[in-house]
Amino acid sequence: MRKLKSLWRSPRAARVCEELENWTYVLLTLGAALLLYATLTAQAARAAAFPADVGAPTLLFQAPGGSFTAAAPLETDLRISVAGVVARVRVAQRFRNTGSTYIEAVYVLPLPDDAAVDRLLMQVGDRVIEGEIHERQKAERIYGEARAAGQRASLVRQTSANLFTTAVANIAPGEAIDITIEYLQTARYDAGEFSLRVPLTLTPRYGAPDTPEAISAVASTVLPEATPTIEGMAAAARSTPAHEAYVHAVLAPGMPLEWLGSHSHATSYVRQEGPAWSGARPAAKIANGAEAAGRLVRPPPADLYVLDTLAPRVPMDRDVVIAWRPLVGVTPAIAALTETIDDTTYALLMILPQAAAHLTQAGPREQIFVIDSSGSMGGQSIVQAKAALTDALGRLRGGDRFNVIDFDSTARLLWPTPQPFTPQTHAEARRFVDRLQADGGTEIGGAIAAALSQPAAPSYLRQIVFLTDGAVGAETSLFTAIERNLGDARLFTVGIGSAPNSYFMRKAAQFGRGTYTHIASTAEVTEKMTQLFAKLEQVALSDVVVDWPDAVELYPPAIPDVYLGEPLVLAASFPATPDRPLLVTAYGRAGGLPWRQTVAGAQSELPGIAALWARRKIEHVIDSRVTGTPEDLIRKIVVDTALEHHLVSPYTSLVAVDKTPARSAAAALERRNIENTMPAGAQWQAALPQTATPGPLLRWLGAIVLLAAGSLLLRSRVPVARRAS
């Protein structure tokens, strides 16, 4: 103890204290640096912070102060009218401003791929303003000017094939503006069933890329981009209650039904007598779809069926699908709906193929199988492709001729010319297929050329079955090659693997006048090949020629064959002949025999045949980009067609302006994105990888430690200098 006490007084103790002091200094420097670092990190983290939990409301609006406010969900009223294959859908949405400042609301409206949007109505109180169609830039300018002038305005523009954006400017505090959009679409027909899908949410978030590059490249200067924002994503990521819709559908199928119902919602049905859309009185409530998605089997004949969802309002987290199955006749049914505007008649011709039982076998066939064995087909894909091809070979019959072409970087033919199907050739082909291995590049062009240039055998129907994952580059030139060299052959594409290039497959089949089949897994091979061979063996109707009046403009211009379970829908326009009724005669071959049918055009109960024709024309013109139509010409034709038919297109928008000013120049306007409800039961990615290295952290720590060392060095130098003096 004494020694310790003396230590305090000794000069050595002072040094010890000095050393202690140094250490404290180093620790303080380190501490300060760490504190600085922690502050920086916290700041970065704060930038990403969102309000914790807002509970019930769906929409999150950011107020000027940066805080988040909630608003009422969007109210949607959906009315669907179906006549035959034509449907007119009316989407009325109430944009309500519950805040205390003027707002501009932006909503992404999902619509069907083939929707022809031709009407916009803006209702403010009692006043209804009808939207006008303008070229897109002009429409955006009109909207921008009205917005700046404080007038209520609304703009609808197409952002991709199936996504439209609605913007509503200058909604006063406490006010509601109703925006009504009307569009036409056609019912789909597949495997004997008509269905109509009305999207309520962005289920297919990524639509077909048909927005012309010329437009997408020039960012809109006036219109808010409907790109999801950080706030929007935060709102969407949180499971908020959905927007709700009222759904009401009126169906006039125009034919006796096997059944009708909804695949998506529980519905109730009311049967109505009387031909008119208005004035018909409910005859009887005929059934309740009490199941999750109710259907009505063999409904009593009626002119109109009225469908309502059992729940008065349904969440907008899934699409509404209405389906009906007609009783199928023994010969292809044919129907022509017309609409005459001024001196032009527009017609929609629909040919339904017969039921399978009534089909006769096709004549002798020559099938050329093209199989992709390139490196991209490695793994399960080549296994599936080989299984599919082996299955196909087993379905050939005596009298058929066939050949197999395998390609990767080069094309290899099994035989120089197609051979008759015999047990020997069958065995040889199977051995050829068994030996295939996936490697090398994908040179599709050579294989297509080889398949199309095989010497033709007279009286044989040539069918090319193309099995690939479609991992190709120069698609445009391939389509051109198919279109030019197809002749009388038909090209059927079979997509292999979980994610084939279905754009290429669909378009190649379209140019090849065949169909596209997708085989997603090995388990599906037999089922899908059976379906494909049903189409190959039983072309319901081929060599279709339609006798239209003169000067017809037809879409699609090349009439495809009618395959089992797939309808043919043609849209035509021609000069009106009011004095005589329209008679359309279609000729073709059904089951190897000449087929002919004449149908009288019937005035469509729903207006809009012209709009549907124009929509098909626009689609065809945009498609023609792959065959080399110049961009300027595409734009000009699309703009002219869309303006004439009052249609929203990639180049045209609908705009409505209420001339009465709503907002004084002094009042501020806020922009709000209204987020769509997340689709139900969607597939999601489980986890995202950690995507940052500790590099920055290590560099920070390194710098801090060096700083501390430097300060210590400085500190140790000072006393030495003092001692020297």
Partner 1 sequence: MKRPWHGAMPVTVTLPLGLESKPRVRQRRARRLVIGALVALGVALLAAGFWLPAKAELAQHLLNRAWTRTADGETIARPWPWADTHPVARLTLPDGPEPLTVLAGASGRNLAFAPAWLDGSAEPGADGVTVIAGHRDTHFRTLASLEVGDELTLERPDGSVLRYEVAALDVVDSARAELRLDADESIVVLVTCWPFDAVTVGGSWRYVVTARRRF
**Contacts with partner 1 in 675-714 (CB under 8 A)?**
682-685, 687-709, 712-713
Q: What are the structure tokens assigned to 511, written together? A: 């140019």
With CB under 8 A as the contact rule, which of the stretches 120-128, 458-466, 501-509, 570-578 interacts with partner 1?
Answer: 501-509
Toward partner 1, which CB reaches closer, 238 or 395? 238
Token digits for 496? 């292999």
- Site membership for partner 1, residue 123 (CB under 8 A): no
Is 114 among the residues that bind partner 1 (CB under 8 A)? Answer: no
Pick the closer one to partner 1 by CB: 37 or 259: 37
Judged by CB, which is closer to partner 1: 424, or 437? 437
Q: Which stretch binds partner 1 (CB under 8 A): 176-184, 227-235, 263-271, 337-345?
A: 227-235
Alpha-carbon distances of 498 from 225, 377, 388, 695, rounded to whole Å? 33, 11, 15, 38
| Cross-strand partners of 81 | 88, 250
Which is closer to partner 1, CB of 14 or CB of 667?
Answer: 14
Q: Are strands 188-190 and 102-110 parallel, antiparallel or unpaired?
A: unpaired
C-alpha to C-alpha distance for 321 and 266, rounded to whole angstroms: 11
Q: Are 452 and 487 in contact (CB under 8 A)?
A: yes
* Min CB(470)–partner 1 separation in Å: 8
33 part of the interface to partner 1, by CB under 8 A:
no
Closer residue to partner 1, CB minimum distance, 208 or 255: 208
> Shortest distance, CB of residue 59 to partner 1, whole angstroms?
18
As measured in angstroms, the least distance from the Cβ of 222 to partner 1 is 16
The site map against partner 1 for 204-223 (x = CB under 8 A) is xxxxxx---x--xx-x----
Whole-Å CA distances, 565 to 143, 196, 353, 422: 46, 16, 7, 31
Scanning 225-233, 257-265, 562-570, 654-662 for contacts with partner 1 by CB under 8 A, the matching segment is 225-233
Report, in Å, the least distance between residue 710 CB and partner 1.
Answer: 8
Which of 539, 538, 505 has its CA nearest to residue 519? Answer: 505
Least distance (Å) from partner 1 to the CB of residue 679?
Answer: 9
Q: At 44, list the tokens.
A: 């970065």
Q: Which is nearer to partner 1, 230 or 600 (CB)?
A: 230
# chain residues binding partner 1, by CB under 8 A = 93
Q: How far, in Å, CA of 461 to CA of 401, rounded? A: 10
Number of C-beta neighbours around residue 569 at 10 A = 20
Residue 59's Cβ-count burial label (10 Å; 0-12, 13-18, 19+) is: buried
- As measured in angstroms, the least distance from the Cβ of 181 to partner 1 is 23
Q: Is 395 in the site for partner 1 (CB under 8 A)?
A: no
* Contact partners, residue 232, CB within 8 Å, separation at least 6: 60, 673, 675
Q: Measured between alpha carbons, how far is 610 from 339 in angstroms, rounded to an integer? A: 7
CA 172 to chain centre: 34
For residue 583, which amino acid is it? Answer: L
Hey, which residues between 420 and 459 contact partner 1 (CB under 8 A)?
A: 439-442
The verdict on 36 binding partner 1 (CB under 8 A) reads: no
Token pair recorded at residue 122: 């803006």
Give the span between the Cα atoms of 634 and 314, in whole angstroms: 40
Q: Least separation, in Å, of the C-beta of 107 and partner 1?
A: 16
- Shortest spacing between CB 590 and partner 1, in angstroms: 32
Choices 40-48, 177-185, 340-348, 669-677; region in contact with partner 1 by CB under 8 A: 40-48
By CB under 8 A, the residues from 503 to 562 that bind partner 1 are 503
> Residue 660 Cβ, how far from partner 1 at the closest point, in Å?
35
List 251, 337, 382, 471, residue binding partner 1 (CB under 8 A): 471
Please, where are the H alpha helices in 438-501?
444-452, 475-485
CA distance 614 to 624: 15
Residue 215, Cβ neighbours under 10 Å: how many?
A: 17
Site for partner 1 in 622-661 (CB under 8 A): 625-626
- State the amino acid at position 169 in one-letter form: A
CB of 89 to partner 1, least distance (A): 22
Residues 347-386 that bind partner 1 (CB under 8 A): 374-376, 378
How far from 16 is each of 22, 396, 722, CA to CA, in Å?
Answer: 10, 100, 18
Q: Does residue 9 bind partner 1 (CB under 8 A)? A: no
Between CA 418 and CA 396 the distance in angstroms is 13
Q: Find the shortest distance in angstroms from Cβ 489 to partner 1.
A: 26
Residue 165 found at the interface with partner 1 (CB under 8 A) = no
Residue 241 interacts with partner 1 (CB under 8 A): yes or no: no
Q: Is 578 in the site for partner 1 (CB under 8 A)?
A: no
